[in-house]
Amino acid sequence: MPHDGHDDFTDPPSDIALRVKALESLLTEKGLVDPAALDAIIDTYETRVGPHCGAKVVARAWTDADFRLRLLEDGSAAIAEMGFVGRQGEHMVVVENTPDVHNLVVCTLCSCYPWPVLGLPPVWYKSAPYRSRAVSDPRGVLEEFGTTLDANVEVRVWDSTSEMRYLVLPMQPEGTEGFSARKLEPLISRNSMIGVEKVLPPGNTR
């Protein structure tokens, strides 16, 4: 594994690692980037911003009916209320899964993704197989994630081609009625907020 210190000594750095290192050195030498700013940028997305933010939004929507209405009416404003604002989440639309409608988010042209609530996208979200098939064969894609939908459920795919960012509000799993938001949050997966999976009841793992 790349983070295994032992391998750092035995494997020579790859060409791309050397290329990036050389570019960073050049930019630093020219005063175009500040090493402390680089560390802050990485720290933001490695430790501060991630799917735990989106899970708080979803759990609150499940437990606070007024918030849920505001969230579906104006996603940007409702999410900003909770402090999850910033780059790649300036304009948010929240789409709600119901027993009849299942939403799925993709960016076929690149990798648009709501960073303030989900962090950086997983590799598969940026990959050719997902980007190509999410629009033309969404049910096949869902099956690959172990998500089977009844044929009478409507699948709605959202291709993020502008600066609007989409977050799926998944359905609350059965048996969790009356749970506090805090108890619900750990159940809410990143993938459920992209729309490739459902939220499972407690005690179920994938």
Q: Which pair of structure tokens corresponds to residue 71? A: 């969230």
Give the footprint of other proteins on residues 177-206 (CB under 8 A). Answer: 189-191, 196, 206
Query: Quick check: 101 and 107 in contact, CB under 8 A?
Result: no
Cβ closest to other proteins, residue 23 vs residue 64: 23
Cβ closest to other proteins, residue 141 vs residue 184: 141
Closest approach of Cβ 5 to other proteins, in Å? 11
> Which residue, chain included where needed, has tokens 């197989």?
129
Give the footprint of other proteins on residues 1-60 (CB under 8 A). Answer: 2-3, 13-14, 16-17, 19-27, 29-34, 36-42, 44-46, 50
110 as an active site residue: the answer is yes
53 as an active site residue: the answer is no
Burial class (CB in 10 A: 0-12, 13-18, 19+), 181: middle
User: Does residue 123 touch other proteins according to CB under 8 A?
Assistant: yes
Residue type, 161: T
Query: Which listed residue (110, 127, 132, 136) is catalytic?
Result: 110
Burial class (CB in 10 A: 0-12, 13-18, 19+), 124: middle
- Would you please indicate which residues are annotated as catalytic (active-site) residues? 107, 110-112
